Amino acid sequence: MKSDGKAFIHAHASLSGRDMSVIGGHLFGGTVNNTCEMVFLVPEGLTFERKVLIEGEPPRFCPEKK
C-alpha cells in the first residue's frame, strides 16, 4: 500500500524475443500486442507495506500478518 492508503502493484514479467531469448524483471509499463497472460496471487492473512528500514535506502516491501 502507498502512504495514502491506495494499492500499489509490484509486477514482474518474463518476456521472450523472436530468437527465443528471455528477459525478466520489474514491469514498470508497456504495451501488449496480441496476447497477455497474467497470474495474480493474493496471500491470505498477509498485508504488504512499503517501509524505509534503513535511513537513506529506498522503501522495501514488508509482509505483516493481519
Which of 25 and 3 is assigned the larger pLDDT?
25
**Mean pLDDT (whole number) for 18-37:** 83
CA distance 42 to 10: 12
Report which of 42, 50, 46, 47 is spatially closest to residue 3, judged by C-alpha positions: 50
Residue 21 has what pLDDT? 92
Residue 33 has what pLDDT? 74
pLDDT digits (tens, 9 = 90+) for 30-58: 777 777 777 887 788 888 888 899 999 98
CA distance 4 to 7: 9
Residue 52 has what pLDDT? 92
CA distance 63 to 65: 7
pTM of the model: 0.38
